[in-house]
A and B are shown apart, each in its own frame.
Chain A
Amino acid sequence: MPAAPAAPAAVPSAPPRRWPDVSFRWLALLAAATIVALIFLVGWELYRGAHLAVMKFGVNFLHHSVWDPVADDYGAWPFIFGTLVTSVIALLLAVPLGVGTALYLTEIAPLRIRQPLVMVVEMLAAVPSVIFGLWGVFVLVPWLRDNLFVWLKKWLGFLPLFQGPIYGVSVLAGGIIVAIMILPIITSVSREILRSVPNLQREAAYALGATHWEVIRLAVLSYARRGIFGAAVLGLGRALGETMAITMVIGNRAEVSASLFAPGYTLASVIANEFTEATTDMYLSALFELGLVLLVVTILVNVVAQLMLRSLAGGGTGKVQ
């Protein structure tokens, strides 16, 4: 048996240099801090810009429903209203469609068509906003005006929602366009959520003699319900801030109407449309304040969505089993 090998000779080495480590750490910190600083800067600049309007109109700004640049009288309510209504319409349409698509993709579709379908959904997300807008103006709006809206008015016309003249461009058209645009995010987030449901849950239901639909209801949807809600809230965040396409189909009229056929206006649209023509300081400041309102609402919605999605990471009820 050979003797134990001698300990290897120590490799001569210089003491490790510290400065690359230190400088890297500072650079990374700087990068991270930039993001935080940017958010605060944006918020601060918006507030500064809005200062004039905030001072003049105070809280009234939020529920005042006149927007009259000629008289320098500004209220945000028509825009807040338009934003909320279009977002709610978008969610009502996109959540069932998105969750349904996600369910099909995770639970039902044959394996070989899943990947192509996922790609199609993701392609929808890649379509530029303005293209949706063009399509909305030239295809969707005329079709809605001549078909769906007529039908709705005929059969559901007893509801205030579906009364009044039909122009085509309308709050409802805006909601539909936004629904199409938030569909990909809702679908892909829901799909991730559904995929995270442990197979053991499905097997538990199958072993009790559940049918495919019962398995989905009992084991999959109930496990994933909070995450799906998070996906919807995330979609809402997108819907609130959607600008280009909706500006092209909503009609851009600052009024509050019970009818979904009436034109409306959203926070994002009015800012994009009127910035170039804001000639007085007060006008500009009012637009800034609209931006501030939009920013605060979207950040809140996104924080809520993130919290809900995070609490899901551990399991359906936020509890690791």
Chain B
Amino acid sequence: MADPIRLTSPLPSPRPDAPGPAAPVRPPPPGADVAFDIRDFSLWYFAHQALDAVTIQIPRQKVTAIIGPSGCGKSTFLRALNRMHELSPGVRIAGEPRLNGENLYAPQIDPTMVRRRIGMVFQKSNPFPTMTIAENVLCGLRLNGVRDRPLLRERLEQSLRMAALWDEVKDHLDRPGTSLSGGQQQRLCIARAIAVRPEVLLLDEPCSALDPIATAKVEELIHELKRDYTIVIVTHNMQQAARVSDRTAFFYLGQLIEYADTRTIFMNPANPQTEAYVSGRFG
């Protein structure tokens, strides 16, 4: 990880913007409904260029799907949004991805702060095996130094309800997070990500390891969450992209080929490559 320039002292002192009780999503700057404003963003792993001058505006409180064949850079793009890619060796970037007008890569910005504001859910569910269900959900808040018990309890229930998991786990919150089924674990991870009230939720193929019923539940959840969150989802599954997203971006060989309303991408794409991909002719 690149050495961050710290704005804040490390744990256990609470971070300055530890979420308060109400913790609303940051009010959008007036007149802006763009969450991410990204222009000419490129990324290299050593000498290999993984993203090539991507320019994209991701709207607030909408679901944006990123599709494309394997190796097209869609996961890399997603991980660049919350600076997770910095954990891999040999990464270089060019460009200034902005969230709410603020450069995420500005030298005074601490990547851990970026990740606090931009939550992420992974392909495989990864609850912490030594923690209970409740501890898993609350661990982000605890990291931020929240010690207020009533608030923690309230957040626990809220987050689990938002993740549509509360009714299934409310009677055994002290069981290990790994005692749940695969689909439940993935929803637990979503609850864990939203418990800190991030501004954006990144989903990296969240359903690829789930059965159809669990997938349906997570998709329903994405629909619910979009009222409060800006969501970016990477998916291999084009039906899924068509079902859950408002906007769809098609990546190919590190380039953004086409970006439009989901309906347009699937019904009437402008680019022949997009057309070939969504109709299943390659990829």
Contact A317 B129 (CB under 8 A): yes
Report if A203 contacts B (CB, 8 A): yes
Contact A203 B10 (CB under 8 A): no
Report if A201 contacts B (CB, 8 A): yes
Contact B143 A200 (CB under 8 A): no
Chain A 218-244 residues near chain B, CB threshold 8 A = 218-219, 222-223, 225
Contact B84 A206 (CB under 8 A): yes
A222 to B127 CA separation, bound complex (whole angstroms): 12
A113 to B73 CA separation, bound complex (whole angstroms): 30
Contact B130 A211 (CB under 8 A): no
The digit string for A187-214, where 1 denotes a CB below 8 A from any CB of B, is 0000000000010111111111111111
A204-B189, A211-B112, A317-B178 are contacts. A218–B124 as well, Cβ < 8 Å? no
Report if B11 contacts A (CB, 8 A): yes
A182 to B143 CA separation, bound complex (whole angstroms): 35
Contact A207 B84 (CB under 8 A): yes
Report if B116 contacts A (CB, 8 A): yes
Closest to A213 in B: B10
By a CB distance below 8 angstroms, the chain A residues around B127 are 204, 321
Contact B113 A223 (CB under 8 A): no
Contact A225 B10 (CB under 8 A): no
Contact A208 B116 (CB under 8 A): yes
A211-B11, A218-B139, A321-B185 are contacts. A203–B126 as well, Cβ < 8 Å? yes
Report if A9 contacts B (CB, 8 A): no
- Return the contact of A200 from the options B112, B117, B119, B124 (Cβ within 8 A): B124
A209 to B189 CA separation, bound complex (whole angstroms): 14
Chain B 103-130 residues near chain A, CB threshold 8 A = 112-117, 119-120, 122, 124-130
Q: How far is the CB of B122 from chain A (nearest CB, A)?
A: 6
By a CB distance below 8 angstroms, the chain B residues around A222 are 128, 130-131
Contact A209 B176 (CB under 8 A): no
Q: How far is the CB of A307 from chain B (nearest CB, A)?
A: 19
Report if B87 contacts A (CB, 8 A): yes
By a CB distance below 8 angstroms, the chain A residues around B120 are 203, 207
- Return the contact of A209 from the options B89, B113, B130, B131 (Cβ within 8 A): B113
Contact A209 B129 (CB under 8 A): no
Contact A204 B122 (CB under 8 A): yes
Contact A203 B84 (CB under 8 A): yes
Report if A127 contacts B (CB, 8 A): no
Q: Is the interface of A mostly helix, strand, loop or mixed?
A: helix
A319-B129, A319-B176 are contacts. A210–B122 as well, Cβ < 8 Å? no
Report if A315 contacts B (CB, 8 A): yes
Number of A-B pairs, beta carbon distance below 8 Å:
90
A214 to B179 CA separation, bound complex (whole angstroms): 24
Number of B residues whose C-beta is below 8 Å from A?
36
By a CB distance below 8 angstroms, the chain B residues around A214 are 10-11, 143
- Return the contact of A206 from the options B87, B129, B185 (Cβ within 8 A): B87
Closest to A320 in B: B178
A289 to B52 CA separation, bound complex (whole angstroms): 75
By a CB distance below 8 angstroms, the chain B residues around A204 are 122, 126-128, 189, 192
A209-B144, A209-B196, A214-B11 are contacts. A316–B129 as well, Cβ < 8 Å? yes
Q: How far is the CB of B203 from chain A (nearest CB, A)?
A: 11
Closest to A226 in B: B130
A317 to B10 CA separation, bound complex (whole angstroms): 28
Contact A218 B143 (CB under 8 A): yes
Which residue, A111, A205, A206, A212, has most C-beta atoms of chain B within 10 A?
A206
Closest to A198 in B: B126
Which residue, B84, B112, B116, has most C-beta atoms of chain A within 10 A?
B112
A209-B115, A212-B1, A218-B143 are contacts. A201–B128 as well, Cβ < 8 Å? yes
A135 to B56 CA separation, bound complex (whole angstroms): 66
By a CB distance below 8 angstroms, the chain B residues around A111 are 89
Chain A to chain B: the 3 pairs with minimum beta-carbon distance, closest first: A209-B116, A207-B120, A208-B140
28 intermolecular pairs with C-beta atoms under 8 Å apart = A111-B89, A202-B87, A203-B120, A204-B122, A204-B126, A204-B192, A207-B84, A207-B115, A207-B122, A208-B116, A208-B140, A208-B193, A209-B115, A209-B143, A209-B144, A210-B112, A210-B143, A211-B10, A211-B11, A211-B112, A213-B10, A218-B139, A219-B128, A223-B128, A317-B129, A317-B130, A319-B179, A321-B126
